[in-house]
Amino acid sequence: MTLSRTRQSRGTGLPQITGFYDDDTGSIQYLVANLDTCQAALMDTVLSFDPKGAAINSDSVEEILDFAKSEGLEITWILDTHPHADHLIASSYLKKRLGKPNAIGAKVLKIAELWRDLYNMPDAFDPTTALDHLFEDGDSFQIGSLPVKVMLSPGHTLGSITYVVGDDAAFVHDTFMQPDAETACADFPGGTAVDFFGSLQDILSLPEDTRLFVGHDYGSEYRKTPTWESTVAEQRHHNIHVGGGTGEADYIDLQGARDKALSLPDRMLHVLQMNLRAGALPPSEDDDHRYLKIPLNRF
């Protein structure tokens, strides 16, 4: 991990947020802290995975746990916004490591149905056994005394969710990127540009000073240092895909052209068969080793 940055709470009852940048995947992992109770949630955490050697380690999340301990924070939730295609989810590892509940959106059940067919694994991927909570649109819970509301945000996947914390911060995962870096892709199985546009507009309907924390940043032509925080107002006015009032038809054309130019994430076919089990590794076989199944010529 090469970069972390803490944004202090903007007042009592509002979250302190530390982002940890995973250089391998351009992903941002978040520690969302309620300083009033010294309780915190982990969001979209990453197990390091080398697709060339199929090697896994937990160094990135252990660094976050060390930071949380140094800050006197108790982790009470392990949260994901969707079953990621570009990195291995650390949810299952952290649940065993910490003994705390993990959660994702309820439509992960529909995503699992799609991928059982794609992998020809009809009995695989039961998220209900791997996760403690499957959140529906409009559900709410708390991080300490901080209220959190769940918004369904389909498009990138059919079951992506946004967490709005304390009416101050929204974790918008693979929807928006930074305003100078477009929006995420909408061509994974179950994703559509039409749904994606609606989700982007729902996020833009939040109060304009809401802080938006994105799932990825890869820099841009003019900005080499990764960043991951913007505001609703900045995205409304300056996002190069939807800023300034771009209409649905124009957005769909832009998004479609961009998606066609992108290749699949190099980890996707490896990690999704684990991420639909909250990042749990496949069971050991009779030689005590674990194996992945990769569909050929499906994409």
- Asked whether residue 42 carries a pLDDT value surpassing 60, the answer given is yes
Do β-strands 102-105 and 74-79 pair in parallel, antiparallel, or remain unpaired? parallel
- Averaged pLDDT score across all residues of the chain: 94
Given a contact cutoff of 8 angstroms between Cβ atoms, the answer to whether 151 and 159 are in contact is no
Q: How many residues does the chain have?
A: 299
Residue 188: the pLDDT is 84
Which one is the CATH code of 3-275: 3.60.15.10, 1.10.760.10, 3.40.630.10, 2.40.50.140? 3.60.15.10
- Asked whether residue 1 carries a pLDDT value surpassing 70, the answer given is no
Q: The pTM is what?
A: 0.95
Distance CA 12, CA 21 (A): 27
Please list the helix, strand and coil fractions of the chain in percent, rounded to the nearest 5, in that order: 25, 25, 45
- 75 pLDDT band, cuts 50/70/90, is very high
Distance CA 129, CA 132 (A): 8
pLDDT for 144-157, tens place per residue?
Answer: 999 999 999 999 99
Residue 202: the pLDDT is 97
pLDDT for 80-123, tens place per residue?
Answer: 999 999 999 999 999 999 999 999 999 999 999 999 999 999 99
Distance CA 191, CA 173 (A): 14
In Å, how far are 18, 44, 176, 198, 293 from 142, measured between CA atoms?
A: 18, 17, 24, 26, 38
- Asked whether residue 199 carries a pLDDT value surpassing 80, the answer given is yes
Tell me the average pLDDT across 189-199. 93
Given a contact cutoff of 8 angstroms between Cβ atoms, the answer to whether 29 and 75 are in contact is no
Q: What are phi and psi of 81, to 5 degrees?
A: -90, -25
Tell me the average pLDDT across 132-141. 98
Do β-strands 16-22 and 46-50 pair in parallel, antiparallel, or remain unpaired? unpaired
- 31 pLDDT band, cuts 50/70/90, is very high
Do β-strands 74-79 and 39-43 pair in parallel, antiparallel, or remain unpaired? parallel
- 12 pLDDT band, cuts 50/70/90, is confident
Question: Which residue has tokens 């995947």?
Answer: 25
Sequential DSSP letters for 90-146: -HHHHHHHH---EEEETTHHHHHHHHHHHHT-TT---HHHH-SEEEPTT-EEEETTE
Residue 283: the pLDDT is 92
Element (H, E) at 61: helix 59-70
Given a contact cutoff of 8 angstroms between Cβ atoms, the answer to whether 75 and 42 are in contact is yes
How many percent of the chain have pLDDT more than 70? Answer: 99
Element (H, E) at 192: none
- Asked whether residue 221 carries a pLDDT value surpassing 90, the answer given is no
With vertex at residue 30, the alpha carbon angle to CA 46 and CA 191, rounded to the nearest 5 degrees, is 65
pLDDT for 253-263, tens place per residue?
Answer: 988 888 888 88
Do β-strands 46-50 and 55-57 pair in parallel, antiparallel, or remain unpaired? antiparallel
Residue 2: the pLDDT is 60
- Asked whether residue 167 carries a pLDDT value surpassing 90, the answer given is no
- Asked whether residue 69 carries a pLDDT value surpassing 80, the answer given is yes
